[in-house]
Amino acid sequence: MADIIRLLPDHVANQIAAGEVVQRPSSVVKELMENAIDAGATDIQLIIKDGGKTLIQVVDNGKGMSGTDARLSFERHATSKIQKAEDLFNLHTKGFRGEALASIAAIAHVEMLTKTEDDDIGTKIKIEGSKIVSQEVVVAPKGTSMLVKNLFFNIPARRNFLKSDQVEYRHITDEFHRISLAHPQVAFSFYNNGSDVFQLPANEFRKRIVHIFGRKTDEKLVPVEEETQVVKISGYILKPEFAKKSRGEQFFFANNRFIKSPYLHHAILGAFEGVIRPGTHPGYFLNLEVNPGTIDINIHPTKTEVKFDDEHTLYAMLKSTVKHSLGQFNVVPALDFEQDQNLDTPYSYKNKQVGIPQVVVDASFNPFETTVKTSKGNNSTGNYKKPKVEGWENLYAGLETKVESNVSHLEFESEVVNSSIFDDEKESIEPTTTTFQLRKKFIITTIKSGMVVINQSRAHQRVLYENFLKNITIKEAVSQQLLFPLTLSFSPGEMNILKEIKDNLCTVGFVFGDLDDEGVEIKGVPVLVAESEVQMIMEQLMSDFQQEVPGDSFSQSDMLAKTLAKTLSVKTGESLDEFSQVKLVNDLFACKETTLSPFNKKVYVTITENDIERKFI
């Protein structure tokens, strides 16, 4: 048989490598910005168009390249950053694999303009799908400008796989945040479709965070500082009361490189345990400085997953350092959910005046006399009735009832029967069906053939979802005016999302007042929404839309209805009174779709009489 093994031509090998390095426009942004940092730039501009699909440009004032280097930089495994394998254990640069430019040039139209300090004249190279189109000598400022156009022009399958411009823009913004946070001493600017998104002057870390996430962030930050032989930890955590429903602001940097580490994230969760509400996520911006020899960055082409030599020690240190900061800044006691409730004075006693105890003596009292006497010289209690000796138990009667009446004021959250969700219609509904709530999770009701077990939360989601979707479509939502408008603050990134979805929010009943880059005034809310829930709902919306920005307006409405349904629905663990149970069952079966929740989860199961009979065999 003839030999069949061949070496792949370079441009094919580069395209394959590109698959690993360049997943989407944000990967290009990352590689180009990291190259600019490695080139020692102090000012970096990022310019994008159409979510980076048509254009990504990074301009830096770094050290630039000579003509030969400029040409060579597009070759695979061409790097100035390491020379031998040992260098891998002492990395001080972001890049070192020498494959980013080769990969990008294999799948896009690239123009590079570069000049070094020493050269008088610069170089311009055009390269398309790994082919050099032109190389010229041109006048250029010191530094490098990389222009990447028409990403994946030669791989239609990859291009079609890209998400909407907004989603890609969101990914790029995330990348921009990560790199600019990792390098606060470098000035950055960011332009999207011709408008200016960020202008970040060189600054200290705290100011960089505030510039990116908004002025209000400053007061939320608690410093974290610890230095040991293994690691230097520095940065900030967000005060526990600002823990969010979404996982937004969580950043680890190892030696100025953004990293993802579920393991270390877990350490932070441990430190915050008990001080943040369940279901919310702590925010953090933490730098870990370790000896470059003790960290392996080479395990993944995008280099965000790294391996530390001594992860367990790092875990323990991180946890205790963060805990210490929480304690030191006195943010824990105010929110200590674990605190023994019995040690707290009941609220009803808090404002009571402390009086001097008075002892009232009935001078005429004779314990051996059984007749009741009316006391005379006693002006404070009026009639004092001496209890009969045989009725001694009555002595405690008053005390008992007093204790009881106090207790009856206490409501244990888990026992609260939730009837409010359908309160308005309570009168008009007659329970015609018998329902039963099981474990505060399922509603059981009978049908002809047997019984239905309904997941209460999913059923309510379905009901709310269809309701909201209808409101959005026919634009007939009713809103309730808030007596005092609420002012909520958000980061500029979140405000961008809000601006995009604002019109749709109005159709479900939100009424907005003033709106700027850092916050919004809310004047009215949908009838189903309680004022206290507004912040939570808005955060949930931002986080859902941040992860997935729907392209057309229908999917935007759909997503809005889903988020509202998810946030406002009855949850597992809530008791429902009989009316609510019946109403939920009736509403569910009046829905267009009854079997699945808006998130495609099964809403109910039926168990037939036969099924039950069979169990008895």
Q: What residues make contact with Mg ion under the rule CB under 5 A?
A: 35, 95, 100
Residue 547 β-bridge partners: none
The DSSP annotation for 467-482 comes to HHHHHHHHT---EEEE
CA distance 277 to 245: 10
78 binds, among Mg ion, ligand ADP, none (CB under 5 to 8 A by kind): ligand ADP
Of the two residues 36 and 197, which places its CB atom closer to Mg ion in the complex?
36
Q: Which amino acid is at 554?
A: F
Beta carbon of residue 20, minimum distance to ligand ADP (angstroms, whole number): 13
96 binds, among ligand ADP, Mg ion, none (CB under 5 to 8 A by kind): ligand ADP
Of the two residues 48 and 537, which places its CB atom closer to ligand ADP in the complex?
48
Backbone angles phi, psi at 606, to 5 degrees: -105, 140
297 binds, among ligand ADP, Mg ion, none (CB under 5 to 8 A by kind): none
Of the two residues 95 and 509, which places its CB atom closer to Mg ion in the complex?
95
Of the two residues 125 and 452, which places its CB atom closer to ligand ADP in the complex?
125
Of the two residues 80 and 378, which places its CB atom closer to ligand ADP in the complex?
80
* Of residues 435, 296, 409, the one with CA closest to residue 348: 409
* 280 C-beta neighbours (distance < 10 Å), count: 18
Using CB atoms, what's the residue nearest to ligand ADP? 95
Of the two residues 95 and 301, which places its CB atom closer to Mg ion in the complex?
95
79 binds, among ligand ADP, Mg ion, none (CB under 5 to 8 A by kind): ligand ADP
Beta carbon of residue 233, minimum distance to ligand ADP (angstroms, whole number): 28
In which residue are the tokens 């059981």 written? 444
CA distance 452 to 444: 6
Of the two residues 18 and 497, which places its CB atom closer to ligand ADP in the complex?
18
Q: Is 75 exposed, middle or buried (0-12, 13-18, 19+ CB in 10 A)?
A: middle
Of the two residues 94 and 458, which places its CB atom closer to ligand ADP in the complex?
94
Beta carbon of residue 9, minimum distance to ligand ADP (angstroms, whole number): 19
The DSSP annotation for 278-324 comes to TT-B--EEEEEEE-GGGEE-TTSTT--S-EETTHHHHHHHHHHHHHH
Beta carbon of residue 16, minimum distance to Mg ion (angstroms, whole number): 18
The DSSP annotation for 199-245 comes to EE-S--HHHHHHHHH-GGGGGGEEEEEEE-SSEEEEEEEE-GGG-BS
301 binds, among ligand ADP, Mg ion, none (CB under 5 to 8 A by kind): none
| Contact indicator for 148, 48 with CB cutoff of 8 Å | no
Of the two residues 96 and 465, which places its CB atom closer to ligand ADP in the complex?
96
Of the two residues 19 and 98, which places its CB atom closer to ligand ADP in the complex?
98
CA distance 603 to 591: 12
73 binds, among ligand ADP, Mg ion, none (CB under 5 to 8 A by kind): ligand ADP
DSSP designation for 38 = H
Beta carbon of residue 69, minimum distance to ligand ADP (angstroms, whole number): 6
Beta carbon of residue 115, minimum distance to ligand ADP (angstroms, whole number): 10
Beta carbon of residue 56, minimum distance to ligand ADP (angstroms, whole number): 13
Beta carbon of residue 136, minimum distance to ligand ADP (angstroms, whole number): 18
CA distance 13 to 507: 52
Beta carbon of residue 34, minimum distance to Mg ion (angstroms, whole number): 5
98 binds, among Mg ion, ligand ADP, none (CB under 5 to 8 A by kind): ligand ADP
In sequence order, the 6+-apart residues with CB closer than 8 A to the CB of 330 are: none
| Contact indicator for 595, 602 with CB cutoff of 8 Å | yes
Of the two residues 104 and 464, which places its CB atom closer to ligand ADP in the complex?
104
80 binds, among ligand ADP, Mg ion, none (CB under 5 to 8 A by kind): ligand ADP
| Contact indicator for 272, 307 with CB cutoff of 8 Å | no
CA distance 222 to 206: 10
**By the criterion CB under 6 A, which residues form the site for ligand ADP?**
31, 35-36, 39, 60, 62-65, 73, 78-81, 95-101, 144
144 binds, among ligand ADP, Mg ion, none (CB under 5 to 8 A by kind): ligand ADP
Residue 56 β-bridge partners: 48, 148
CA distance 327 to 322: 9
Backbone angles phi, psi at 53, to 5 degrees: -70, -40
81 binds, among ligand ADP, Mg ion, none (CB under 5 to 8 A by kind): ligand ADP
Beta carbon of residue 339, minimum distance to ligand ADP (angstroms, whole number): 52
113 binds, among ligand ADP, Mg ion, none (CB under 5 to 8 A by kind): none
Beta carbon of residue 297, minimum distance to ligand ADP (angstroms, whole number): 11
